[in-house]
Structure 1
């Protein structure tokens, strides 16, 4: 079976490559989505190790809370702590911009828990301020620059990273005034005193206290180290720090979630793209397998004539696609693991980089299972049908009798010759037409979502939900998704047209023998794909695109009311561009099929 499968793949190299591309696109994107989160978590773990990261961060909004913080330091399960450190809300002016900040007072000595690692310059000193690295990067401020903090001038003496708080702009709130991250709706005003996308800076304790006022009262923060870091949430629940308790607390797992928020968004986009590409791959393989089966009738007859049982014939036909699926899964795993770091560049607020993602056995198993599943779903039915066909009829390799539909003959007879032939070509394979419609609808649905997400990212640099660098990373993810989606859709259009050419070779030759010109046959074969493309494009816009966006919104917990949906002219342009692209892609195989020698075919 393996020998026969390999010989057939070598004999049809072009089709084997198309099969490989179809499955490879889905497996690569799925691998990217699965490993992205783990790859992005590495920099946070590096930061946590380098800075003696806390397991729990607790803060008290007033001086009376100091006693409660003191009790936490001696609570069961706590092995070390640092603080309480004073914290105040303030405003920082630098580079012509004013930003809300949380000012934390620290000691010049090294802390036992949460000692921010200085990446540039030095640690806090009198008259000097240290900025959180992602915040400094956003402001384009470096060591040696002067900034104004709550009306007083300070010199930037250092830039540092910490694992006790997510990098800017997703910083945790440790001041009593409260904070809000992300965009503020146009119809709402920020409550008085509340901070908007605050950054984090460090001063000496004495200077931090000197900035306190009635409008900016002191609050306190303490960092705790536990005997078992995995029990951080249980510790918070036990000490009453969650759900509006006396002392708000945050576990290191919560900080990790917020610190890798960008990677999670990228992962969601890629996983959704992977399932879309999986659907396209199934459609592509189904058509390609059907076309190959039509071209393998005589081979099936020969295998059965020399003693092959129907099960052996089906296994041989299925083995070809399973071999390609295994190769595509291996290649997709390798490409996805090596590409993931390019889409998860470490935030300026973390130490290290994503590096090469390690593939877990669960990821390898899932990607391989999806690749094999796609191959089996697409090939099982055609393979079994071919294996159960009559040996004599398979050896004869006769043309398939057309399905005569009275109303279609009546309607098509009134059409110009190319459209007459196109309608009858489409009617011969209704399931293939459905696959073509579904393929285009899936592609256009993806394009619809890409338009929405692109408009969303275009609004982000001014809202503070993402930094400019993070927006650029998400744009790279969308670009990967767009290129693979459109490439596979193009492969699908070519595969469907070529399968149609092969399946209609006898009918096309007969039409030409009765007077149809090669040009009319070319137009007919292309038009047979353009008409389903038009239907698929319309369905892809609505309800396909709208439903897909609603599903993404439900998964991510977003607010669809705030999304900028494509305007009508964009949707019309997408439909027209889809039809023109399909016409262009199908013209070459249609041209080749329309000029096949009539005598040789008949």
Structure 2
């Protein structure tokens, strides 16, 4: 315990001596852990509301639909299959058009009894259940269509009162409702001219009495049946077993469609799943930026701790102990950042989860599982270890005498660099030489900007994609939710990128304080040195912005489409002028951010800086 206590005290004392750098370390890891937490807790974000709806409606374990009356024998066979403990239906279903307030929409009208069913009884949100001349609308469809209880609507030319609004667990909320009719359904950016006759376009769901449904389309009815199983968890196996019993005769009707409740739940929570994917990708981007930020901070701190390393080794510390002490402070910051990220992510997750009008309840504050806590903590420690292990080992292996004397490092001289920069203006000459002195830092700066711009590129495409009419098949509220997710990780990404740019500049200022003082002693002005240090960051910013658009941005977008199963061909790539504006804005913002620390770094008197060499 004495060794552990010693390591802990040394790590904490060093963090307290440099609170600003410790705060930057914390911020860099915190951004990544918060986004990772959001992605993990959203995995089952809408699961509770769906389960609430399923319990309130005596939701079915399996839903079976037949497109025509010819499929009724198959429905009877499936209702009598082994494992079925009860069923409701078959209920007639008619394709229809509903009109209210000048708006028209396709709907699937399900005929129900006026009494409550033991299985799959929609739960009323407002109003009452079906009656003669009264229609009940699915809640998400009613909200999208702008209809409330008491309104008058027209269904296939017949006038009905809106008797109630209800939710169901037998299919996903609008606009993800299952297609029940034989003619088929279509969703997304299609026009009526593109659809074959009879195909419904993003239909809503309504309930009428059985007699009213049969009067709407007596010759083209479909049928719906809901089943309860003795073992609900084996619904998928039941579906697989009973799908094999349906045959397709040449020219005959299609066999019934059988859906287990798990598939319906997946459809109902699809938006939450896509939100999770976006946040997980954002977490990866932030993790890369965090590693870049930490690498620069750690490198600067290690250079600043050279004498401290020598003192530790002079009083008996082994290279291993020194390396552990240097590593411990960063792992301590990672643990604090993981704890804070878990708390912030769990508390802010409800802002990015919306059960929607079609489900009961809300996601609330998701609970943190041991798996989530362990994953986030391990990721934070991995980021810190990845960035600090190599510099810590390098510092620990340095000689004790060399570390105590801390001699100035002679600059590297490259003949080609001197030849290229000799005739440039003083600020550009100094900027090029500053950038070339630290090639690894230059690469980190390019990588950080490329990661940020690739994220911005994807956000531009996805935002335009989500803003289009019926672009995703989701409703407007779900599209707004996905845009909030995009906005969340974009803001965090930009903030961390700004911190990264400032950190790199400040590390460059510290590394070049002696060189800058010598240049000023030879005639360079403080303004020229400020411009040189800012321009040294503008060079990698320009290169990183170009790489961030292509190929990094293009590759990231294709990855998202592959993971989510989206259709990338329907997305529109931003025009060239917008991409050029992003590159130019990136260079200008990086230059502005880096000019501030560069300005303060050149205020130190020349004599004082040279005396410290």
TM over 0.5: yes
Q: Which residue of 1 aligns with 2:551?
A: 543
1:228 aligns with 2:243: no
Question: Are the equivalent residues in 1 in contact too, given 2:34–2:341 (CA < 8 A)?
Answer: yes
1:599 aligns with 2:602: no
1:434 aligns with 2:437: no
SS in 2 for 1:327: helix
Alignment of 1:122-141 (within 5 A): 122-141=128-147
Distance across 2 between alignment mates of 1:142 and 1:538: 52
Partner of residue 34 from structure 1, selected from 15, 37, 40: 40
Question: Are the equivalent residues in 2 in contact too, given 1:95–1:139 (CA < 8 A)?
Answer: no
List 4+ stretches of structure 1 deviating above 6 A: 241-245
Q: Which residue of 1 aligns with 2:86?
A: 80
Per-residue CA deviations over 1:167-204 (Å, capped at 9, x if unaligned) read 00010011112112222279x71111011101000011
Q: Which residue of 2 aligns with 1:358?
A: 367
Partner of residue 377 from structure 1, selected from 386, 396, 403: 386
Question: Are the equivalent residues in 2 in contact too, given 1:39–1:358 (CA < 8 A)?
Answer: no
1:397 aligns with 2:402: no
- The gaps in structure 2 that reach 5 residues or longer are 1-6, 249-253
TM-score, normalization: structure 2? 0.95
Question: Are the equivalent residues in 2 in contact too, given 1:37–1:260 (CA < 8 A)?
Answer: no
Deviates more, 1:199-208 or 1:554-563: 554-563
Shift of 1:331: 0.9
1:454 aligns with 2:463: yes
Per-residue CA deviations over 1:18-62 (Å, capped at 9, x if unaligned) read 111111111111111111121221111111111111110001222
Q: Relative to structure 1, is the Cα distance of residues 185 and 288 closer, same or farther in structure 2, using a 3 angstrom cutoff?
A: farther
Question: Are the equivalent residues in 2 in contact too, given 1:294–1:502 (CA < 8 A)?
Answer: no
Q: Which residue of 2 aligns with 1:192?
A: 197
Q: Relative to structure 1, is the Cα distance of residues 463 and 127 closer, same or farther in structure 2, using a 3 angstrom cutoff?
A: farther
Distance across 2 between alignment mates of 1:64 and 1:578: 64
Partner of residue 574 from structure 2, selected from 566, 570, 584: 566
Distance across 1 between alignment mates of 2:311 and 2:433: 31
Distance across 2 between alignment mates of 1:300 and 1:463: 59
Q: Which residue of 2 aligns with 1:204?
A: 209
Q: Which residue of 2 aligns with 1:277?
A: 286
Question: Are the equivalent residues in 1 in contact too, given 2:63–2:259 (CA < 8 A)?
Answer: yes
Shift of 1:126: 1.1
SS in 1 for 2:194: coil
Partner of residue 63 from structure 1, selected from 69, 72, 76: 69
Q: Which residue of 1 aligns with 2:221?
A: 218
TM-score, normalization: structure 1? 0.97
Shift of 1:593: 1.0
Alignment of 1:462-501 (within 5 A): 462-463=470-471, 465-501=473-509
**C-alpha RMSD of matched pairs (Å):** 1.5
Distance across 1 between alignment mates of 2:426 and 2:432: 10
1:121 aligns with 2:130: no
Question: Are the equivalent residues in 1 in contact too, given 2:445–2:541 (CA < 8 A)?
Answer: yes
Question: Are the equivalent residues in 1 in contact too, given 2:247–2:255 (CA < 8 A)?
Answer: no
For these two proteins, the number of residue pairs brought into alignment is: 598
Q: Which residue of 2 aligns with 1:177?
A: 183
SS in 2 for 1:89: strand
Distance across 2 between alignment mates of 1:243 and 1:557: 30
Shift of 1:163: 0.3
SS in 1 for 2:583: helix
Deviates more, 1:469-478 or 1:11-20: 469-478
Alignment of 1:498-509 (within 5 A): 498-509=506-517
Question: Are the equivalent residues in 2 in contact too, given 1:293–1:382 (CA < 8 A)?
Answer: yes
Distance across 2 between alignment mates of 1:449 and 1:464: 16
- The gaps in structure 1 that reach 5 residues or longer are none
Distance across 2 between alignment mates of 1:560 and 1:237: 32
Distance across 1 between alignment mates of 2:471 and 2:418: 60
Shift of 1:600: 2.4
SS in 2 for 1:182: coil
Distance across 2 between alignment mates of 1:587 and 1:96: 58
Q: Which residue of 2 aligns with 1:323?
A: 332
SS in 2 for 1:357: coil
